[in-house]
A and B are shown apart, each in its own frame.
Chain A
């Protein structure tokens, strides 16, 4: 059974940093692209970032480019999101999502339950 478990979400002040983690199991982690998607309270879904199966290709939404960094450790079946210079508008539930395929164009076929990031003074 595919499982994705996010962690690291907490309350942080504007300008602060956080590192989110996603522990994956139930599939060959190194075979698939991985994404981060977020959802602000009561709002729609927003794609944040993607990383290819080998980490060689990444892409970011304009809203987080230059502030967030996605990475993965295939030896530990883990996905990460380093979030710097956080803003109030980054407040959201952050989902880790598994790509159906290995490429960055891949849709998301499994999702975690999310970890809540709150940016407030």
Chain B
């Protein structure tokens, strides 16, 4: 395996909540609490939104939250706003001492 599986796209209306899943295996997501989430707007460098499954870096909105169950991690965006429209990627540390990125999810605000 070389990548974690994410849905290609997720959409929601302003104010709604959406959840992006990130599925791996027991050798990555299921084995470690080193899951992070990144937001990338077109033409921009990615931004760290969540680290170590559920921790928010300073300055990141409380509307973003992370969780994990078994081999699947999730990013929830509450109170969806137009500025949240972007690509989102998960990452996880692996038993091979490497990092995997997810396949990426395009979030569309309707």
Question: Is B2 engaged at the interface, CB distance under 8 Å to the other chain?
Answer: yes
Number of A-B contacts (CB under 8 A): 60
Checking B52, B99, B103 against A44 with a beta-carbon cut-off of 8 angstroms, the contacting residue is B103
Which stretch of A7-15, A20-28, A81-89, A104-112 is in the interface? A104-112
Q: Which residue, of B46, B47, B100, has the highest number of chain A Cβ atoms within 10 A?
A: B46
Which residues of chain B in 34-90 are interfacial with respect to chain A, using CB atoms and an 8 Å cutoff? 34, 36, 38, 40, 45-48, 51-52, 57, 87, 89
Within 8 A of A (CB), among B84-108: 87, 89, 91, 93, 97-104
Closest chain B residue to A98, Cβ basis: B48
- Nearest Cβ distance between residue A7 and chain B, in whole angstroms? 15
| Closest chain B CB from A94 CB (angstroms) | 12
| Chain A 66-104: CB-based contact to B (< 8 A → 1; otherwise 0) | 000000000000000000000000000001000010001
Specify the chain A residue showing the minimal Cβ separation from B2.
A62
Known contacts A45-B38, A47-B91, A105-B93: does B45 contact A113 (CB below 8 Å)? yes
Chain A residues with CB below 8 A from B57, complex form: 100, 109
Task: Name the one of B48, B87, B99 contacting A109, with C-beta atoms under 8 angstroms.
Answer: B48
Q: Given A45-B38, A45-B104, A105-B34, A95–B45 Cβ distance below 8 Å?
A: yes
Interface residues of A in 19-52 (CB under 8 A from B): 35, 37, 44-47, 50
Instruction: Establish whether residues B101 and A107, one from each chain, have CB atoms under 8 Å apart when the complex forms.
Output: no
The 9 closest A-B pairs by CB, nearest first: A111-B45, A107-B36, A107-B51, A47-B99, A44-B104, A45-B101, A59-B97, A105-B93, A105-B34
